[in-house]
Structure 1
């Protein structure tokens, strides 16, 4: 099973982005996803810059995938996806069905991102017909649900036609909105945000009245307040999950690539309660099971 580095979800200064990906070259991640997936106003790196960075990382031996915007709201944003598809060499991660169609029209293989909300075999078959090579399931799907889809795909003779990549570490991307929550928190209208989200390189945490983290606000994106962490569930993925995704959300995530790629701890990693893994274990998303799940997968 491989470990991949997902797209950067936050807004960082250009130099910080470049330093981060330079450091990522020294990790055992096999695939690196590049590009802006949240807000088109974030232009520290423009489309051409992402393409140049992709070429440099590919030349250094990494497999590179170009990730697309998730919420398309203007023709100019669709043109960005067209440009990514027209480069013709690297796969894209399609986070919107418009990106799926553009890639299909150009004969470009693509990764089906988690925002496509694929929940069944019929949709997988449709995407395979369009050129899908990898499926990243929605982050709320449980191990049991994914196992059932894996079995169904195997029975249909299509399981070996795509890779299954599971979101394994990072703040879960839960929703996108036409409104910018970070700008609103600073009493700024969205159209005059002045890119205030660059002041929050790891998002802006929102707590309940009791002080419990519930959401992490990242511009127009709402994430989980707790960091998702499936490190203690990796052993149960062996043999049917092809890759696990580490979300690029802070320099510390690079160390987690090493941990996910390394040998499993027999008794599980002793982690703090700031993590969650509820969705994977058919529990409320905020829940945390500190040791490997003992749940039997339904046949």
Structure 2
């Protein structure tokens, strides 16, 4: 199984991003995604900067570099930037919005279907494959059963399977909104946010009135409070037809996380249990660990 590093979902400043990717170039990764997927106001790196960094990474690492586009496109300027990214002519693009799918399909170039695209069955998969999708990252709420069923339907349609990339580690990106929740938490309007989300390197925990961790607020993005961790589920990842395990970047300890996953894919036994949640993978509520519902 291949290991991929997903795009950085949080707002980090330029120096932190550059050091992070310098560190990641030395890791045993097969695919590295780069680009801003959450908010176009986050401009630590411009598109030209991302392209330059991608070229450097390709020289320093054996990993395939993929450019990731915005998930929620709200302005003509964002659409223009996305169109330019799709026409970069050098790197594979991850489409997280249907406008990107449109541009890439028009150019007749292959692309990655990101987890924000609503693809849940074989018929829909087949339509996206006709548009040029060669790799599918299912929505994060998809269970092993849903993914296996979609691939079986695709087989029955006589359509060759794309690569399947499962979001296997990290805060789950659950929803996007036109409203910026981080700005609202500081009583700021979205248009005058002062880029306050840069103060929260892994978002803001959101608790219930009872003190239970429910979500993580990351600008316009709502994420899971718990870390989704499917390392103990590695055998079922393989059985479901997973080709690539996506690890979502965190501010601390990313090298150790990659090492643990690399060890298991090299043949070492996976742990019996890990910290975090894996409910969606088992068809349960996402915040649940399978141990809590007696599924181990």
Into which bin does the TM-score normalised by the smaller protein fall? Answer: over 0.9
2:260 aligned partner: 259
Mapped partners of 1:222, 1:46: distance in 2 = 24
RMSD: 1.7
Q: Summarize the alignment of residues 82-161 of structure 1 with structure 2, pairs less than 5 Å apart.
A: 82-160=83-161
Distance apart, 1:294 and its partner CA: 6.1
Quote the residue 1:19 is aligned against.
19
Kept in 2, the 8 Å contact 1:227–1:276? The answer is yes
Aligned to 2:182, the other structure's residue is in SS state: helix
Instruction: Give 3-state SS (helix, strand or coil) of 2:233's partner.
Output: helix
Deviations 1:259-281 (A, max 9, x none): 11212664724434xx1100001
Name the TM-score, length of structure 1 as normaliser.
Answer: 0.93
CA distance in 2, matches of 1:125, 1:232: 31
Decide which moves more: 175-184 or 144-153.
Answer: 144-153
Between 1:38-47 and 1:234-243, the stretch displaced more is: 234-243
- Residues 202-245 of structure 1 show CA distances to partners (whole Å, capped at 9, x for unaligned) of 00000112211100000000000111000011112225210010
Matches within 5 A, 1:51-66: 51-60=51-60, 61-66=62-67
Hey, what does 2:271 align to over in structure 1?
268
Query: What is the rounded CA distance, in whole Å, between the counterparts of 1:79 and 1:269 in structure 2?
Result: 48
- Partner of 2:251 in structure 1? 250
**Unmatched segments (≥5 aa) in structure 2:** none
Cα separation, partners in 2 of 1:118 and 1:70, compared to 1, 3 Å: same
CA distance in 1 between counterparts of 2:178 and 2:9 reads 17
* CA distance in 2 between partners of 1:146 and 1:85 (Å): 27
Pairs aligned (count) = 291
Q: Determine whether 1:233 maps to 2:233.
A: yes
What is the TM-score when the length of structure 2 is the normalising length? 0.94
Residue deviations 1:2-44, cap 9 Å, x none? 0100000000010100111111111111000000000000001
- SS of the residue 1:241 aligns to: coil
Q: 1-side partners of 2:291 and 2:263: how far apart?
A: 19
Q: Which runs of 4+ in 1 moved over 4 A?
A: 264-267
